[in-house]
Amino acid sequence: MPGWLVTIGQGVPITHAAAAARAFAAGDGFTAALPDLGQEVLVGVAYAALAALLLKVFELESRRHASLDTL
């Protein structure tokens, strides 16, 4: 794959979990899969932080442009 596509793939939530599952299936054990599981947790935290930020932005924008408060 092209380098830019590999970079995007690192931010997709299931990428690292699949790598950890492959390590488990190969019989490598938990310690071999731990780095992939850690990266998966970091991706999840990043998505949760982005979701919380966007929720706050959308809430503020909806309060600013609310048409029901103009009565």
Task: Tell me whether residue 62 is in a domain.
Answer: yes
Task: Tell me whether residue 44 is in a domain.
Answer: yes
Q: Residue-wise pLDDT tens for the chain (71 aa)?
A: 899 998 888 888 888 999 999 998 999 888 889 999 999 999 999 999 999 999 998 888 888 877 555 55
SS3 39: helix
Question: Looking at residue 67, what is its pLDDT?
Answer: 56
Question: Looking at residue 13, what is its pLDDT?
Answer: 85
CA distance 36 to 65: 43
Question: Looking at residue 21, what is its pLDDT?
Answer: 92
The parent domain of residue 30 ranges over 3-66
Task: Tell me whether residue 71 is in a domain.
Answer: no
Question: Looking at residue 62, what is its pLDDT?
Answer: 82
How many structural domains compose the chain?
1
- Report which DSSP code applies to 65: T
Task: Tell me whether residue 57 is in a domain.
Answer: yes
